[in-house]
Structures are given as structure tokens and as C-alpha cells.
Amino acid sequence: MVAYEKIKKIPYGGDYNPEQWPEETWEEDMRILKLAHIDTVTLNVFSWASLQSDDDVYHFEKLDKIIDLVTAHGMKICLATSTGAHPAWMARKHPDILRVEHNGMKRKFGGRHNSCPNSPTYRKYAPALAAKLAERYKKYDNIVAWHISNEYGGECYCENCEKKFREWLKEKYKTIDEVNRVWDTAFWGHTFYDFEDVVLPNLLSEHMDDTRSCFQGISLDYKRFNSESILNAYRLEYDAIHAITPDIPITTNLMGTFFGLDYQMWGKYMDFISWDNYPANDTPISSTALRHDLMRGLKQGKPFALMEQTPSVQNWQPFNMLKRPGVMRLWSYQAIAHGADTVLFFQMKRSVGACEKYHGAVIDHAGHENTRVFREVTALGAELEKLGSQTLGARSDAKAAIVFDWDNWWAISYSSGPSIYLDYCREVEQYYKALFDRNIPVDMIGVEDDLSRYDLVIAPMLYMVKTGYDEKIRAYVKEGGRFLTTCFSGYVDEHDLVTIGGYPGKLRDILGIWVEEEDALPENLHNRFHYHGNTYPASLLCDLLHTEGAETLASYEEDFYAGMPVLTKNAFGKGFGYYVATQSSDEFYRDYLEEICEEADIQPIMDTPDGVEVTRRINQNGVFVFLLNHREEPYVTALPFAGEDLLGGKIYKAGDALVLEKKDVAIIKLK
């Protein structure tokens, strides 16, 4: 986490780019930011070009001034390394730094996220700059974190990456025979005799589009290779900095459910997680919550930094609605409620040019403090100051977990059949939402994470069961755990090679079933089933399965497989394996997970209507219950526990009426 012992409250501020403005305006910025109780600024995010004008020519004078300026005003600094976009001169002089696109075209200078991760030039100059920055500014004790590059992403298909991919394969698989085996190259006669025969999978080789590939195994390995290549570039900077300032934590800003990078692997190499939360205009609140929990899970529940959010509007949505009054505050607290220990914005001040000039900022183009947005920012700043350090470091105590795995996501996305409508994230969100709506805390975990602390583990569409993961699940269930999975699970190993013998492969004994066939339905067609007095739809994919020890809880009612099981429950050791053989409705997931949670004695924090979110965080200072009213009307309840509202200041006895105005928040520190 941000070194918040230096700040002793929730850091408040965000990206500040005075280098885009005349120096004579900086003091006025300071005056305004101080008004808003800003105490932390992220500096130097995109200045590589101005910091380095030639191979060995660096210019730190302006950055010196900026750092001195904010330091003089008592602010903490999150110092970026500026390597998110390389200088134009570097692209011209060292074109190896430019990427090649999925369509095979070599790029020219432009944009950001533009460096080939395997470029020798990039791998030389990016860490060199990071080291110079660390060396130069290590003396500033108000630097609370390092911020490497920015929103890493993208892919490269250049010749250099192709060479590195071959090396990566050789390192991983040792022999070309093993490569042939794991990619099943006997199919379509793709047998390789030499690593040199391997080419990158793109539109010129194995791909028909972004996700349709002739060889899923090749595409999957490229995805891993690319994620690791970029991670390695990050790590070069990390190592350079860490050697000089070992006590300042290092991060880079992630982006939630970002398809391109395996954030679970990345998390291992970050001192703390930070991420940029930009819900679209119509993103459900449960989806935002899921992403907060997913980011928190990358470091096993350690609090994270909300590195970016907009004070008001975005600029890249098709239409960019204003955040309504109160929403910026509400969503800031939603982040905290899910484990954030910072509230940071992109951006302090709107630029006058280029593609983000209409993205919201604390200081608008009007240039002064007399705006609605500024008043809301200021009010939140004052409130956070008052809140102080109480919640810092607090963690969740979830007894339910949902498994999310990037490799699995990639593999499902690449699958040719049974349906292009398979959507891993949507599938996960459906289960998450069912628990979210019941105010049941959830941890989003990866396949390397420990299961034993949970009473319920849900792994929606666990298509890929990596070597050993079935063992982990088996041990967990044997010891009394509850494990639920769904259709399209257990098909393949980590190479996307099918586990022979019957689906769901290595999960069959745990679930006590055999899936013989799966029927992919068009969007307008549904089967259905009855369960506990209700009828639910069966959509998208309907497994035709046989129990092998499991109990059948519900069966299909239509089509030629009417009567075959759709919900099963298998006693296995001291625990249970649950199987949901199709996709159903929000109502089904809510009802069914409520039942399973009751069986597992997993209790909601409290009962609230839809749109009133409740979470809990715990630290050495106590237990904090967050209540967030996302609705358009007030919420009134009898509080089921005693405590003090850290925001409103009111003291409640159990049973006292609590009133939350629309968009309002309460943080009840339990008695």
C-alpha cells in the first residue's frame, strides 16, 4: 500500500501535470488544490520526451521545480516513471521500440502504450530513466509511492518479439516435440521441426480476428508470453528503483477486468495494487464492486489504491454523462468499502489540448474553484480529513470466494464452439451479483490462492483446470468445503488440451456427474426447470449430464433431454460439489446461492433492498460497516447493530433508525 504511515489518512488527490502549463500558473493551482484538501499528487506520468531529449541527454530541471513546488505545499507525491509513452526522437532513432500490430503492420510514432516490450531500446532506456529518477529524488521523504509507466497493455508482433517467443517456448517446453504435443500440431499438419518454424499467431498466421484462432494453444501461449514480456519490462524498472529506494513501495495502475494482462501474475511483482476505476455510464454497481474485489484479491486482500477515477465526466464513452451530485463521493466510498485506502483522481487539471481535454478534473477549464464539481471534491476532501486513519489497512472477512482466472478467460474467449456467446466475465458477474445483492462479502481469488479459509467457493465456467487445481479443490471439499461450478467446466488442462474420459474431466469425482453432450441455444431459445416452487430459464448452454453419485436437485422440462439433471449436489468427503448445468436468470442465482449460503451458514452483513450496498472491513481499530445508498430515494432502516457513524457522527444503538439520503453513505464503526 501507499506508504500511508507518512500521511496517516486516506491519501486524496491524483494526477497533476503542471508541465502542460506555464510556470506562472502553478502557484494558483496550489492555492486551489489546497482549498480542496488535496494532499497527494501523482507527478511525471507522461514526461519521458521532455526528460530525455537524446540518447544521453536528460533534463530534470522542470521536474525538480514541480517536485519542490508540491513539496513546499506539504503534499505527498506518487512519482511516476513516465515510461508509458516513449519519445518521438527515440522512435525515429531506434525504430525497434515501435510495435507491430495484430494485422502485421509496423507502427510509427504515436499514441501511448506504444513500446515493444522486447525492444532492446525500451529495455535499456526505460529502467535507465527509472533509476535516474530514483537516484535524483530519493532524498524527498514525501514520495509515498512509485508509479511505473501507466496502464500497461497492448501487444506486439514484431520480429524481435517472435524471436523472444521462440526462446520463451524453448525455456518452457524444452523440446519442439513437447511444443507439438501441447499445441496438438498433428491437427491440420502444423508439426514443427525447429523452434525457428514457429511464428507469432496473428491475422497473418493463425487468427481470423482478435479471438478466433486456428490453434488455441498457440494463441494462449502468445497471450502469456505477451503478458510476461510486458511484466518483465515493468520488473526492469521495479528492480532499478527498488535497488535505490527499497523503502518506497512500487506499483503500476491496473484496469480491473483487463483482458490483455494476467494481473494475478502481475500482482506478485507489485508492492501494492492500484487501479483505475472508470465505470461506463450504464455499468451496474455490482460490476464495479466485483472489480474492486478482484483488484483487492490480487494481493490476497491487502488494501489497494484507487489510483484514478474521474471527478465528473469521462471523455471516451460514446456519450459522457455527468456524475450526478453525490455520485463522485458515493463511488469514492464504494472503493473504500471494498478495500481502497486512497481516493485519487485523474486529473487535477484539464489539459487544453489532445484527446483527454474533455475528461473531468478538479480544476476545470474555467480555471477557478467556483464549480459544482470542485465543491463536491472539496467537501469530500474535508470529510476524509476528518475520517483520518481509522479505516486504513482494514480487510474483508469474506467466507465466500469466487474464482477468477485469466488463463481460463483467454481460453474461453478463444474457444471455437460450442457458442460464441460464452462470456466468462458475464458468467462470473451473475454469481457475484447474487451474493452482492444479499450483502454477502466475497473474495475474488485466483487459482493459486488458498481455499481453506472459505466456506463456499464458486468457480463459474472453470473451463480450464490447470494441473493440480483439481487436487486443491478435492482436498478443500473433502475437508468440508462447498464447491460450485457450472456448464463448460473441466474440459481442458492449461494447454487447452481436452481431458479425455468425459467432461467435466478431473472434476467428475468431486461433482459426481458425467456431462455427455452440451446443447448451445440461440439467444431467443430457452429450456426451463422447476426448483423449490419456481420456474427458471435454462439458456445459452444446456449440459446433457448423468449423475455418478450426485443427487439431482432439478431437471430440464423441455426438449428431448427433459428429465435430465440440471442442478446436482454431490456429497464428497465432508463437503459438497454443486453443479449448475446451464445459464439461468438473476432470480435463480439469487435464490439458489441464498440457499447454499444458508446451508454453509454464511450470513449477510445485513438485509437491504436492491441498491443499498453493505460491506465490512476490519482492522486493529475495529469493525467498519459501510452502507451505500445508490438509489434515487432515501433509505430508512432499523440498524441491526450498535455503533458510530464516522461520517455523520451519530451514535446508534442496535435497532435505532438510520436514515440514508439518496446517494448518501454511512460508515458505522461497530461498538
Catalytic residues: 151, 308
- Taking the complex as a whole, the smallest distance from the CB of residue 5 to its own copies amounts, in Å, to 32
Instruction: Provide φ and ψ at 235, rounded to 5°.
Output: -65, -30
Nine-digit cell string for 324: 450526478
Nearer to its own copies, 246 or 318 (CB): 318
Asked if residue 314 binds its own copies (CB under 8 A), the reply is yes
247: which DSSP letter?
T
Nearer to its own copies, 217 or 575 (CB): 217
Site string for its own copies, 6-25 (x = CB under 8 A): -----------x-xx-----
Site string for its own copies, 526-545 (x = CB under 8 A): ------------------x-
The DSSP bridge partners found for residue 483 are: 457, 577
Task: Please tell me the total number of residues recorded for the chain in this structure.
Answer: 671
Sole binder of its own copies in the list 260, 367, 537, 640 (CB under 8 A) = 367
Burial class (CB in 10 A: 0-12, 13-18, 19+), 351: middle
Sole binder of its own copies in the list 111, 388, 480, 634 (CB under 8 A) = 111
What angle do helix axes 586-599 and 424-436 make, rounded to 10 degrees? 60
Instruction: Provide φ and ψ at 359, rounded to 5°.
Output: -85, 140
The DSSP bridge partners found for residue 236 are: none
Sole binder of its own copies in the list 234, 263, 454, 503 (CB under 8 A) = 503
- Listed in sequence order, the DSSP H helices in 52-87 are 61-72
Sole binder of its own copies in the list 46, 304, 529, 589 (CB under 8 A) = 46
Site string for its own copies, 322-341 (x = CB under 8 A): x-xx----------------
- What is the footprint of its own copies within residues 240-269 (CB under 8 A)? none
Nine-digit cell string for 567: 442442478
Sole binder of its own copies in the list 119, 334, 413, 415 (CB under 8 A) = 415
640 CB-near residues (< 8 Å, 6+ apart): 606, 654, 655
Sole binder of its own copies in the list 379, 520, 606, 623 (CB under 8 A) = 520
Sole binder of its own copies in the list 64, 68, 110, 386 (CB under 8 A) = 110
Instruction: Provide φ and ψ at 527, rounded to 5°.
Output: -95, -175
Query: Is beta strand 665-670 parallel, antiparallel or unpaired with respect to 622-629?
Result: antiparallel
Site string for its own copies, 142-181 (x = CB under 8 A): ----------------------------------------
CA distances from 117 to 87, 90, 131 (A): 15, 15, 18
Query: Is beta strand 657-660 parallel, antiparallel or unpaired with respect to 635-638?
Result: antiparallel
Nearer to its own copies, 91 or 305 (CB): 91
- Taking the complex as a whole, the smallest distance from the CB of residue 309 to its own copies amounts, in Å, to 16
| CA–CA distance, 634 with 397 (Å, rounded to integer) | 28
Across the beta sheet with 253-254, what order do the strands follow? Answer: 253-254, 274-276, 305-308
- What is the footprint of its own copies within residues 273-292 (CB under 8 A)? 281
Give the residue carrying C-alpha cell 443427487: 551
Instruction: Provide φ and ψ at 343, rounded to 5°.
Output: -130, 100
Nearer to its own copies, 107 or 650 (CB): 107
- What is the footprint of its own copies within residues 189-208 (CB under 8 A)? 189-194, 196-201, 203-207
Asked if residue 27 binds its own copies (CB under 8 A), the reply is no
Asked if residue 313 binds its own copies (CB under 8 A), the reply is yes
Site string for its own copies, 51-90 (x = CB under 8 A): --xx---------------------------x-xxxxxx-
Nine-digit cell string for 271: 508492492
Nine-digit cell string for 98: 515501435
Sole binder of its own copies in the list 365, 375, 478, 532 (CB under 8 A) = 365
- Taking the complex as a whole, the smallest distance from the CB of residue 220 to its own copies amounts, in Å, to 10
Asked if residue 103 binds its own copies (CB under 8 A), the reply is yes
189 CB-near residues (< 8 Å, 6+ apart): none
Nearer to its own copies, 36 or 646 (CB): 36
Q: How many chain residues touch its own copies (CB under 8 A)?
A: 117
Nearer to its own copies, 153 or 418 (CB): 418
| CA–CA distance, 662 with 148 (Å, rounded to integer) | 38
Burial class (CB in 10 A: 0-12, 13-18, 19+), 49: middle
| CA–CA distance, 33 with 40 (Å, rounded to integer) | 10
Asked if residue 127 binds its own copies (CB under 8 A), the reply is no
Sole binder of its own copies in the list 56, 61, 139, 318 (CB under 8 A) = 318
370 CB-near residues (< 8 Å, 6+ apart): none
Sole binder of its own copies in the list 175, 283, 315, 467 (CB under 8 A) = 315
Nearer to its own copies, 124 or 212 (CB): 212
Nearer to its own copies, 217 or 460 (CB): 217
| CA–CA distance, 388 with 10 (Å, rounded to integer) | 7
- Taking the complex as a whole, the smallest distance from the CB of residue 319 to its own copies amounts, in Å, to 4
- What is the footprint of its own copies within residues 565-624 (CB under 8 A)? none
Give the residue carrying C-alpha cell 499528487: 41
- Taking the complex as a whole, the smallest distance from the CB of residue 92 to its own copies amounts, in Å, to 6
Stretch that binds its own copies, among 295-303, 367-375, 590-598, 602-610 (CB under 8 A): 367-375
Sole binder of its own copies in the list 6, 112, 132, 395 (CB under 8 A) = 112
- Taking the complex as a whole, the smallest distance from the CB of residue 598 to its own copies amounts, in Å, to 35
Q: Measure CA of the first residue to CA of the last residue in the chain; give whole Å.
A: 27
- Taking the complex as a whole, the smallest distance from the CB of residue 315 to its own copies amounts, in Å, to 3
Nearer to its own copies, 516 or 587 (CB): 516
Asked if residue 479 binds its own copies (CB under 8 A), the reply is no
CA angle 23–43–315, rounded 5-degree value: 90
Sole binder of its own copies in the list 407, 429, 455, 496 (CB under 8 A) = 496
Which H/E stretch holds residue 476? helix 469-478
Nearer to its own copies, 172 or 188 (CB): 188
Sole binder of its own copies in the list 72, 243, 321, 638 (CB under 8 A) = 321
| CA–CA distance, 592 with 583 (Å, rounded to integer) | 13
